């Protein structure tokens, strides 16, 4: 527990510092996290070696994470075009490297590219928003972290009914509700501290959405790890596991709120 607390505090301090710094430093930090995250994803799926699609996956994740459309407004390649060509390359490998890869592996790599690539991409996009990018980022991350905290303590103190016993036996309905309430409390405090920023009703609604979607993201990662028979996706963060273990909610929340038009 001591190691977990020390690692958690240190990692949070570094991340918040990079988030507040913003610009190239934050973008590079997120890109590095994405690369490590895809490395964990590929390792969990035992995808390795030339012809497996692993190296295509690394390049594809970089192509999605880096917001070329913001850096170069007239960039000629859209995400849809890019992803189609990534799919084509992966399918081509199943023809010319069929002793090292197959359709199942190609589908897994493409899933990892979309899941990890877009998740981290929208973290950068949010921070680069021309108006209040830092505030929006702090609000979203704050809601996610308070949801995790609220779910943990509510579940520990009040948990009686299992939420998804076959996927994550320790998660409870009471914990999930507590996580939502903590996120709403954070949103309310945010609205009080910055009253002229965003209407309180909108912040509360967004806080609830983030709490629900974030917990779904957590369960998705739990289901995936259980299917693979592992407890953690990696060991880069002592006491906390890997990058994917710490960012499971982030990877779903950030694309969701952008693609569903909440920002």
Q: Which helix (H) or strand (E) holds 172?
A: strand 168-172
Structure tokens that stand for 231 in this block: 């407890």
Q: What is the pLDDT of residues 83-112, one digit of tens each?
A: 999 999 999 999 998 888 999 999 999 999
Q: Which pLDDT does position 73 carry in this prediction?
A: 83
Q: What is the pLDDT of residues 40-86, one digit of tens each?
A: 999 998 898 888 899 999 999 999 999 988 888 888 899 999 999 99
What's the pTM?
0.93
Alpha helices, H only, the chain: 2-21, 23-44, 54-65, 68-71, 79-96, 103-127, 133-158, 173-193, 200-228, 243-259
CA distance 112 to 218: 16
Q: Which pLDDT does position 104 carry in this prediction?
A: 93
CA distance 74 to 43: 36
């Amino acid at each position: 527990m001591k190691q977990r607390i020390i690692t958690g505090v240190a990692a949070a301090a570094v991340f918040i510092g990079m988030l507040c710094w913003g610009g190239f430093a934050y973008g590079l930090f997120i890109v590095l996290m994405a690369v490590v995250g895809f490395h964990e994803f590929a390792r969990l799926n035992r995808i390795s070696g030339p012809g497996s699609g692993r190296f295509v996956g690394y390049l594809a994740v970089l192509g999605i994470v880096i917001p070329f459309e913001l850096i170069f407004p007239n960039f000629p390649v859209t995400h849809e075009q890019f992803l189609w060509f990534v799919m084509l390359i992966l399918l081509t490998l199943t023809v010319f490297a069929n002793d090292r890869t197959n359709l199942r592996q190609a589908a897994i790599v493409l899933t990892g590219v979309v899941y990890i690539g877009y998740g981290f991409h929208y973290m950068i996009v949010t921070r680069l928003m021309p108006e209040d990018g830092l505030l929006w980022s702090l609000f979203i991350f704050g809601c996610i972290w308070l949801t995790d905290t609220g779910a943990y303590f509510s579940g520990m103190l009040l948990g009686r009914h299992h939420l998804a016993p076959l996927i994550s036996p320790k998660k409870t309905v009471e914990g999930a509700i507590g996580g939502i309430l903590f996120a709403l409390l954070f949103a309310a405090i945010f609205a009080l501290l910055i009253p002229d920023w965003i209407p309180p009703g909108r912040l509360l609604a967004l806080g609830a959405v983030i709490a629900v979607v974030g917990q779904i993201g957590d369960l998705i990662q739990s289901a995936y790890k259980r299917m693979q028979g592992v407890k953690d996706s990696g060991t880069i963060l002592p006491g906390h596991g890997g990058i994917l273990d710490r960012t499971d909610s982030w990877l779903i929340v950030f694309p969701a709120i952008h693609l569903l038009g909440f920002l």
